[in-house]
Structure 1
Amino acid sequence: MIGLELIKQYQTNGINYDVTTEDIIKKLEDWHHRFGITISDVSYDQVTVSFQVLPDNLQEMAIEIYEFCPDIIDQGFGCMDDMLAMMSESGQEIDEYTKALLVGVDLDNPDFGLKILINALKREKKVSLWWD
């Protein structure tokens, strides 16, 4: 798979989650086998994964991504409610991309971050992973 050499070069890891460079390589190889992927934006603690095809069950995929990279929800999509509140307080309008991510999302549901991740996967067919 193109790009694995960058993972090795940067020693990309999520060591604060006990995710080693080897764990990341194994997961990316698994996803490549299952979905076909390309990787980009590689650094010591992040990688962007683009999927050629997505699975039928995006809920399962979102859970798999979250278990592998908790920050995607805990510091990302799961914080969307706070971001929207700040935007509202400051009078900022919600852009079209964010509106698309929020389609069908109930911000009162504790798992709303997973739904936003699913919407992002549908829209972009890629995900940026980071561990910090």
Structure 2
Amino acid sequence: MTLWIAIILAVSVGGWLIRYLSDNHGWSGTDPLEREAPGGGPLPHRGAPEYWAGLGEIRTLEDAGRVLRELSGQEPKPYASIEFGRSRNEACLSVMTASAAARSWVYGLQECLGPGLVAYAGAESSLGRSSVWHREVVVGPGRDQFAIVEHAGTDACNYGMAMEDILAKLKSIDERYGIRIREASWDTVGFDLVRRPDDIPAFCAELYEFCPDVVDQGVDSMEALEELVREDGYIVLWWD
């Protein structure tokens, strides 16, 4: 009798979890990135260059919703999650995908978006599966890339900085070197550097002063940060 009760409870909890993930995270029970075409091999719409090349300009949020639906196989949620889903930005649309794919989708979307729209990789979640991380891909209105930080509600309250402080620093870096913001959440911002600084150690010291966790809980050393800036140029700032 005890075994049957355990089985019934397991089935009930499993069913509830699937419904919860579907309702709150757009998860259908299969990851679109794990599907294959009928003849085998990957589906052709996973953000490959040829997909974006043939897409044309995305001019409206409605158009963006159709693209997100095609990419993900999900109905886009009419919001972006903030602070682990504790609040929502209802000015945006979002879908979930594997974290490894989110940024590549964002690169493609940003190339195709018309004026007045922004795209970014947003909140991350394990979706109840600790070994598989997923992330929101978000499209929303915005005059420029700094609207991404506003949509994500990014701040560094643990370090006494508000969103306005973060925006001011990002705009300063953009004026000097050029940046392309690709991801943001309530406590992170990630961007590509367009031009490498002439004095990379000084620039990294500036980054560390602004965001100590980029080293202390990130790359582990100033030397590693300098190498990252020099060779890759993609920087994720995180205020834990």
Taking structure 1 as the reference length, what is the TM-score of the superposition?
0.70
Query: d(CA) in 2 for partners of 1:123 and 1:2?
Result: 27
Greater shift in the superposed pair: 4-13 or 61-70: 4-13
Contact 1:2–1:39 at 8 Å: present in 2 too?
Answer: no
Contact 1:13–1:19 at 8 Å: present in 2 too?
Answer: yes
1:1-16 equivalences in 2 (<5 Å) = 2-16=144-158
Contact 2:148–2:181 at 8 Å: present in 1 too?
Answer: no
Q: State the identity %.
A: 33
- 2:146 paired with 1:38: no
- 2:219 paired with 1:129: no
Question: Structure 1: which 4+ aligned runs deviate by more than 6 Å?
Answer: none
Please report how far the alpha carbon of residue 14 of structure 1 lies from its aligned counterpart in structure 2 after TM superposition.
Answer: 1.0
How many pairs does the alignment contain?
Answer: 98
Contact 1:10–1:44 at 8 Å: present in 2 too?
Answer: yes
- The structure having more radius of gyration, on CA atoms, is 2
**Paired residue secondary structure (2:180):** strand
Query: What code does the residue aligned with 2:226 have?
Result: I
Contact 1:121–1:127 at 8 Å: present in 2 too?
Answer: yes
Could you say which residue in structure 2 is the equivalent of 1:20? 162
Query: d(CA) in 1 for partners of 2:148 and 2:202?
Result: 28
Could you say which residue in structure 2 is the equivalent of 1:85? none
Q: Which has the higher strand share?
A: 2
Q: Which has the higher contact order (CA 8 A, sep 6+)?
A: 1
**Paired residue secondary structure (1:63):** helix
- 2:197 paired with 1:59: no
Please report how far the alpha carbon of residue 3 of structure 1 lies from its aligned counterpart in structure 2 after TM superposition.
Answer: 2.1
Stretches of structure 2 lacking an aligned partner (at least 5 in a row): 1-142
Over the residues paired in the alignment, what is the CA RMSD in angstroms?
A: 1.2
Taking structure 2 as the reference length, what is the TM-score of the superposition?
0.40
Query: d(CA) in 1 for partners of 2:155 and 2:188?
Result: 8
Please report how far the alpha carbon of residue 28 of structure 1 lies from its aligned counterpart in structure 2 after TM superposition.
Answer: 0.8
